[in-house]
């Protein structure tokens, strides 16, 4: 028997609320992910907040142009039948994700912008058209890639710290200064990882705004294609920069100074480990969280130095924030879509 997804009538609202939702999501990425990435750069005294932000942005600007926009397309097509459900459901999903991210930022806790968006999209699909609107197999693949990135990032962080420690044993008194100098390269790599992965979720949202605004774009979405104009990439990068400038310091203090006293070796090891992990995931078209991966690598590096070094009470709070982000986003997305359909 042929089955059909119950699709609500597609109504295209004005472009400005759709654009505003994408911009707000990208800004909160600056709050959360930007803050997480800034933490190690600032705590190791390699950069000021402004200097670290500029390094991250320089790397991020290169990511989408070199790696491509496969992750942007994955977010749009790999969670729900979003193009069929229409832009109103997208708006409800992003609004739900914003509530979750704003709450975690207000509490000073780093969380996953990817989990928030993916969960809210799934919830909005459930609320608007029922379980058949959710591409469950693809959703579990996305979740699996995120868990794998966390594990790989933690293992790579511990291994990188072990390598750095071996180098430090043979180095002289100027080792810390040299390590801080190398953090320009590691900061650029982390920024590149953000631009090639996390930023592309915002790129996908901006691209959806443009696609829904034209008959040709809507036809492309119906055919399973997402046109990604250059302005969508720059809009994502600029709003991320604005968010990092306005709210990144709050999470940066938690990650950089709250977990443990981060040294230059810790920061360098974890930045390279996390950056390479995120870039590898982007090359495979797998959406992961740069902030989560960086935090996991930093905790693993600290635990490798001394198991009691990380503040495990804070680590558990961060872990709890990660755990509740997905179900909370699903619930809020479903509620938002359900109320809109009344």
CA atoms within 13 A on the CB side of 265: 20
Query: Which residues, 6 or more positions from 234, have their beta carbon under 8 angstroms from its beta carbon?
Result: none
Instruction: Report whether pLDDT(5) > 70.
Output: no
What are the residue boundaries of the structural domains of the chain, listed by start? 15-340
Task: Name the least confident of 88-97, 160-169, 193-202, 228-237.
Answer: 160-169
**What is the model's pLDDT at position 243?**
92
Cα separation, 109 vs 173, in Å, equals 35
Task: Name the least confident of 52-61, 80-89, 157-166, 304-313.
Answer: 80-89
> 13 — phi, psi (to 5°)?
-75, 175
Share above pLDDT 90 across residues of the chain, in percent, rounded to a whole number: 17
**What is the model's pLDDT at position 4?**
47
**What is the model's pLDDT at position 172?**
58
Mean pLDDT of 261-279: 85
Can you give the pTM of this predicted structure?
A: 0.84
**What is the model's pLDDT at position 7?**
41
Closest by CA to 27, choosing from 199, 231, 251, 244, is 244
Instruction: Report whether pLDDT(240) > 90.
Output: yes
> Considering the chain, what is the average pLDDT of its residues?
83
**What is the model's pLDDT at position 175?**
64
CA angle 82, 86, 92 (to 5 degrees): 85
Instruction: Report whether pLDDT(267) > 80.
Output: yes
Cα separation, 193 vs 164, in Å, equals 21
Structure confidence at residue 171 as a pLDDT band (50, 70, 90): low
Cα separation, 139 vs 209, in Å, equals 23
Instruction: Report whether pLDDT(97) > 90.
Output: yes
Annotate 272-306 with b (16+ C-beta within 10 A) or e (fewer).
bbbbbbbbbbbeebbbbbbbbbbbbbbbbbbbbbe
Structure confidence at residue 9 as a pLDDT band (50, 70, 90): very low
> What pLDDT digit, counting tens, does each position of 182-238 carry?
888 888 999 998 988 888 889 988 988 888 877 788 788 778 788 888 999 999 999
Cα separation, 241 vs 259, in Å, equals 25
Ordered DSSP codes for 227-248:
---HHHHHHHHHHHHHHHHHHH
**What is the model's pLDDT at position 188?**
92
> What pLDDT digit, counting tens, does each position of 31-41 carry?
888 888 888 88
């Amino acid at each position: 028997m042929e089955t059909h997804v119950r699709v609500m009538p597609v109504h295209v609202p004005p472009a400005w609320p759709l654009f505003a939702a994408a911009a707000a999501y990208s800004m909160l990425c600056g709050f959360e992910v930007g803050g997480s990435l800034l933490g190690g750069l600032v705590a190791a005294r390699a950069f000021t907040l402004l200097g670290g932000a500029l390094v991250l942005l320089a790397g991020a600007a290169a990511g989408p142009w070199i790696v491509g926009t496969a992750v942007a397309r994955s977010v749009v097509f790999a969670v729900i039948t979003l193009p069929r459900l229409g832009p109103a459901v997208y708006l409800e999903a992003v609004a739900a994700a914003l509530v979750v991210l704003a709450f975690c930022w207000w509490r000073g806790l780093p969380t996953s912008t990817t989990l928030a968006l993916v969960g809210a999209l799934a919830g909005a699909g459930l609320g608007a058209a029922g379980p058949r609107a959710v591409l469950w197999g693809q959703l579990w693949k996305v979740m699996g890639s995120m868990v794998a990135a966390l594990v790989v990032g933690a293992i790579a962080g511990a291994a990188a710290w072990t390598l750095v420690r071996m180098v430090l044993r043979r180095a002289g008194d100027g080792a810390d200064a040299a390590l801080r100098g190398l953090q320009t390269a590691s900061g650029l790599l982390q920024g590149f990882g953000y631009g090639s992965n996390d930023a592309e979720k915002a790129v996908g949202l901006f691209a959806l705004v443009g696609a829904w605004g034209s008959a040709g774009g809507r036809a492309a979405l119906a055919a399973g294609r997402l046109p990604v104009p250059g302005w969508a990439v720059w809009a994502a990068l600029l709003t991320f920069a604005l968010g990092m400038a306005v709210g990144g310091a709050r999470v940066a203090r938690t990650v950089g100074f709250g977990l443990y006293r981060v040294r230059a070796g810790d920061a360098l090891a974890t930045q390279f480990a996390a950056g390479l992990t995120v870039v590898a995931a982007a090359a495979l078209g797998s959406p992961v969280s740069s902030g989560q991966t960086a935090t996991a690598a930093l905790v693993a590096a600290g635990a490798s130095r001394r198991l009691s070094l990380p503040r495990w009470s804070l680590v558990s709070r961060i872990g709890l924030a990660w755990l509740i982000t997905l179900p909370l986003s699903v619930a809020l997305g479903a509620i938002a879509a359900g109320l809109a359909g009344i």
